[in-house]
C-alpha cells in the first residue's frame, strides 16, 4: 500500500517503480489523490515482478508539463526486527529486509 502525496496544482500524476539498481520496472498514471493506493506488483506488461525491495516516486504534472518528482512512502507489515551489520533491520511480511534507518514511521496494525 502506497501513500502518494501529489503536489498542489498537479492535474495528473505518474507512479514510477524502480528496482534496487535504480532501473524503472513499471510506471503508470494513478489518481491525483493522497488516498492510499494499492500497487499490484506488476510491470508495464502486466507480469508479476519478483519479490524484493522497490522504491516509488510520483511525477507531478500540470497542464502536461512535469512540475516535480517526489518519493512515495509505502506501508508494509513488519514481522520481525533483527540486528544487522549496519544496525537494526526490519523484516517485512514479504520476507524483504529494510534497514531501520530507511523507515519513516512505524504504526499499529489496522487489520490482522
Q: Model's pTM, two decimal places?
A: 0.77
Tens-place pLDDT, residues 10-65: 999 999 999 989 999 999 999 999 999 999 999 888 899 998 778 999 999 999 99
Q: Write the DSSP assignment of the chain as a string of letters.
A: -EE--PPTT-SEEEEEEE-TTS-EEEEEEE-SS-S-B----B-TTSPBPPSS--EEEEEEEETTEEEEEEE-EE---EEEEEEETTEEEEEETTS-EEEGGG-------S--
Distance, C-alpha 91 to centroid of its chain: 16
Amino acid at each position: 500500500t502506497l501513500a502518494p502525496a501529489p503536489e498542489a496544482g498537479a492535474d495528473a500524476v505518474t507512479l514510477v517503480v524502480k528496482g534496487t539498481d535504480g532501473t524503472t520496472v513499471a510506471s503508470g498514471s494513478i489518481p491525483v489523490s493522497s488516498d492510499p493506493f494499492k500497487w499490484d506488483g506488476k510491470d508495464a506488461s502486466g507480469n508479476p515482478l519478483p519479490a524484493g525491495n522497490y522504491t516509488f516516486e510520483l511525477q507531478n504534472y500540470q497542464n502536461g508539463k512535469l512540475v516535480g518528482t517526489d518519493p512515495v512512502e509505502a506501508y508494509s507489515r513488519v514481522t520481525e526486527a533483527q540486528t544487522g551489520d549496519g544496525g537494526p533491520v526490519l523484516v517485512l511480511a514479504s520476507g524483504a529486509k529494510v534497514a531501520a534507518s530507511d523507515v519513516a514511521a512505524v504504526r499499529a496494525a489496522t487489520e490482522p
